[in-house]
Amino acid sequence: MDELDDWEKNPRKNDEAAPKLAKLIVKLGFGSAALAWRDPKTGRLRILGGHTRKKAVNILRRQLPKCSKLQRSKWHPDAVRTAETGLIPVRVRADLTESQAKQMALADNKANEWAEWDNDLLVESLSEMSLPDVEDLGFDPKKIDALADDLYGLGELEGMADEAKLDTSFQVVITVTTEDEQLKVIEFAQANGWKCRALI
């Protein structure tokens, strides 16, 4: 891993993501190899996809010596091996020009935004997991619960239950003239934790 140079102009911010990925590597090992480009001028390897993995591994290398034998025994073998040796799986591309390498780096980070979740299958898969596992994967349990309620038509039931529990509730009707104004009002209400729904 020490042989992998960072892409100095990497536009992705990953400081907050690295600890989360480190935790997943400890639990599950590596899901995919890092992607690197061999610079023909220097012979060095530059990371195209894997900056977050590199930071996560550095976290593991610092953390493993602090672990007890029992804690260490719970680590995935990939995580232990990487923390001890600094070695990670890497796919090297030497056939790209520098311009193509930059394109590949951006595409590697952008590609996951092109796909969308199938909410039915997502809820089904996550419902089989424990709450800690769902959180470790980066999903907000409350949002998943709300998504499940919408899918099964239970969102209104929760609202009815909330109304039944409260002796006092207040309603405000706001009339706007455009759809854009309506969206702004809804976003403002939701940002403040208020229940809001469009009547038209």
Half-sphere exposure of 2 (CA within 13 A, CB side): 5
Residue 186: per-residue pLDDT: 80
pLDDT digits (tens, 9 = 90+) for 125-137: 888 888 888 888 8
Domain limits of the chain? 4-113, 116-167, 170-200
Residue 168: per-residue pLDDT: 47
Return all residues near 166 (Cβ < 8 A) that are at least 6 apart: none
Q: Residue 23's Cα: distance from chain center in Å?
A: 12
Mean pLDDT of all residues belonging to the chain: 84
Q: What's the CA gap between 93 and 19, in Å, rounded? A: 27
- In terms of average pLDDT, the best of 62-66, 151-155, 167-171, 172-176 is 62-66
Residue 159: per-residue pLDDT: 53
pLDDT digits (tens, 9 = 90+) for 35-67: 999 999 999 999 999 999 999 999 999 999 999
| Strand-pair partners of 38 | 45
Query: φ, ψ for residue 148 (rounded to 5)?
Result: -65, -40
Q: What's the CA gap between 99 and 134, in Å, rounded? A: 38
pLDDT beyond 70 at 161: no
Tell how strand 34-38 and strand 45-49 pair up.
antiparallel
CA dihedral 62, 93, 42, 82 (to 10 degrees): 20
Query: φ, ψ for residue 86 (rounded to 5)?
Result: 80, 10
Q: Distance between terminal CA atoms of the chain?
A: 57
